[in-house]
Chains A and B, each alone.
Chain A
Amino acid sequence: MANNYLNSESKQLATWYFTFAAILFGAQLLFGLVAAIQYVMPGFLYGILDFSIARILHINALVVWMVFAMFGAVYWLLPDETGIETIGIKVGKLLFWIFAAAIVVVVLVYLFIQVGPADETTIWFITEGREYIEAPRWADWGIVVVALGFVANLFLTGIKGRQTGIVTVLMADMIAFAGLYLAGMFFTDNISIDQYWWWWVIHLWVEATWEVYVGAIAAYGLITMIGAHRKVVEMWLWIEVAMLFGSGILGLGHHYFWIGTPEYWWEIGALFSALEPLPLVAMFIHVLYDWGKTQGAEEEKGSTVSVVNNKPAFTWFVLNAFGNFLGAGIWGFFHTLPQVNLYTHGTQFTSAHGHLAFFGAYATILIGMMYIAVQGTNGIKIMKHTKASIWGVSMIVSGVVGMTVALTIAGYVQVLVSRAQMGATWAGYFDGQSGLWFTQAMDWRLIMGAVTFIGFIFLAKDLLTTGKNPVHEK
């Protein structure tokens, strides 16, 4: 990635993070395809790479590529926001290699060792067996060290340089993000207590700190891509932080309906999680409003030129604004009330929501940041769409939406047959799984997964080649 346009080591490190993130994104989709095939053909790789392993790799690659891209995006924007080079960049680079090497070891162990005996050594060296954070304990400590190094760089730079609203929000948010990981690093025989703290990591990441992170990145994107006014953007950002944390922190309660925790979580979880879509509406309006406002001001001057200086990145940012609202907001609200969740909890409804929410809320904006990095790395003034970028975005979006619709239908069958009618037993479970609507939905999920993967190939090709494409204005 050597080139003449990047005068910041922080930005160079960002490109490393983005590159590794994109590779893991590809791995995530590949193992997702394996798992999707297994729903249709249960014998596929049976006893070699069972569903559980494919799924661990699918969701762990998801989490880790997003964390990599999130770190990368911060290293990218820090010099722009603070006006100085990131402090501790050498440590940052070293931590990148430690992080990447640790991930490779963890993946190889997942792939080739898979499970261990029922003792502490397995928890420490093979798998912790807790969805999303299966990484063994040694890797947990590695992640803590890497995250602390990253947070230290962010804080030192933020304190010394210009401390914008965006940097302030990121500093507060990233320390919470790193600290929350500690809640998932202990073993207990009590599964209710286990899941109580496990949700502190999962929920307070994706429905609180990550969302605030997205707000900050969207703010940065609006300033850099369409020249939105900082004062307006940062005011919105603070309002979003208030709304996101105000609803998201206690919205945690919607995971405490059925895990042994007291009934009062029904009311708390229902109320606050029902409010969670509101900031997502606000973010959606905010992005479109600022775009219209800046473009309108340009048109008043008699200009018909687009204010967007990076078309593919901005496309992904707008998709983020909409996808976050639709995937996290609407698909989340569908099943967040306890009366509904009693039947939908633990069905493909959750899976449908998970696919559209992770994609809409996080994948989109992080891909957008990758395009911003490609633009900066190649010294492009105005970056345009290419055929590959359009095919990439169209196929990925249709693929993910298609999977979501298919999984929603599958979830509907499960709720009616397995849950409402059959009372959630073993027999009820398999009756639901063998229903025609369910099996057809799983066929469609696989097809749409393949569409997503082809879209990813276009995206990867575009990210690698578009920088040298002469269509862009240098």
Chain B
Amino acid sequence: MAKKSVWSDNRFWQRSATWVTGFASILLIWLTFDTSAQIAMGNDQDLKDGVTKRVPGPTVINYKITYEMDAKRGHEVPVIGEKEKFFGRDDYSEEEAGALLHLGKLGSQAKNCMDCHTLLGNGAYYAPDLTKSWLDPAWGPDGAMQALTGKNTKEEAIAEFLQHPDQYPTHARMMPDLGITAEEAKGLVAFLKHMSSIDTNGFPRNFGRMQGAVNGK
């Protein structure tokens, strides 16, 4: 008579489950340390020195951001360029920019943005993705939104829209008035501008490349 096989032994499978789970958990924790360091927010000095961070510091709002194809990586990446005025200034200190970003991030949660929009692609699908919305041609000089809101800059147009979305309907589906104040709107725009500078490994693909294309023509 052959002896009972280990393959039909519950203890063997219990131990296997424990080892597999333990190994996977340790690997995840180790990767979490590495990732946490890589996605920690940069600072003003990084921006001045041209050091690329996956998540730049809040003072990135002092700079022009574009989304360009990187031949080596094979997808688009945010590129931080020269200085650019943001609500008339390009000299926000680390504290000022940090406070704006803090206000904006809090606002994004306090107004439940994520339950209509997607941020970094996560959230609800009832409204456009906001990952690179700062770079959306609709808000640019050739887009409709500056004229619609009667503002001359992207940031002012977005801030005006956020405060009174029901006054600027673009589609039957409209953003509701969420009681966003002028200061909160400024914070939210800073949050959106900062988010567009995050290196999202090329998501979304071809963003803004197809401006002017209508129904595939």
Contact = CB atoms under 8 A, between A and B. Distances in A.
Contacts of B128: 425-426, 429-430
A191 B208 contact: no
B124 A123 contact: no
Nearest to B216: A421
Interface in A416-456: 419-431, 433-434
Given A134-B112, A430-B171, A346 B184 contact: no
A192 B101 CA distance: 14
B16 A127 contact: no
A193 interface: yes
Contacts of B121: 258-259, 345-346
Given A424-B204, A428-B210, A346 B122 contact: yes
Given A47-B177, A51-B115, A348-B125, A122 B20 contact: no
B79 to A, nearest CB: 16
Interface stretch (B43-51, B84-92, B131-139, B147-155): B131-139
By size class, the interface of chain A is 35 or more
Contacts of A187: 105-106, 109
Nearest to B114: A131
Given A55-B115, A245-B24, A426 B204 contact: no
A55 B17 contact: no
Interface string B175-197: 01111010010011001000100
A423 B208 contact: yes
A421 B213 contact: yes
Interface residues of B, number: 93
Contacts, number: 264
Given A129-B113, A195-B122, A262 B38 contact: yes
Nearest to B16: A242
Of the listed residues B108, B109, B111, B123, the one surrounded by the most CB atoms of chain A closer than 10 A to its CB is B109
Nearest to A427: B138
Interface in A391-426: 414, 419-426
A223 to B, nearest CB: 14
A275 to B, nearest CB: 11
A385 to B, nearest CB: 34
Interface string A314-346: 000000000000000000000000000011011
Contacts of B104: 118
A56 B115 CA distance: 7
Given A235-B8, A246-B24, A249-B28, A190 B120 contact: no
A117 B172 CA distance: 27
A120 B112 contact: no
A192 B120 contact: yes
Interface string B24-63: 1101100110111011110000000000001100100000
A118 to B, nearest CB: 3
B110 interface: yes
Contacts of A120: 106
Interface string B158-182: 0000000010001111101111010
Interface in B192-212: 195, 198-211
The 9 residue pairs across chains A and B that have the minimum distance between CB atoms: A129-B109, A118-B107, A258-B203, A238-B13, A424-B204, A346-B121, A52-B115, A423-B206, A249-B24
Interface of B: 8, 10, 13-14, 16-17, 20-21, 24-25, 27-28, 31-32, 34-36, 38-41, 54-55, 58, 98, 101-116, 118-129, 131-133, 136-138, 166, 170-174, 176-179, 181, 184, 187-188, 191, 195, 198-211, 213-216
17 contacts: A38-B126, A55-B115, A114-B112, A115-B179, A189-B102, A194-B105, A241-B17, A241-B21, A246-B20, A249-B21, A258-B201, A260-B54, A261-B39, A262-B39, A262-B54, A345-B203, A425-B138
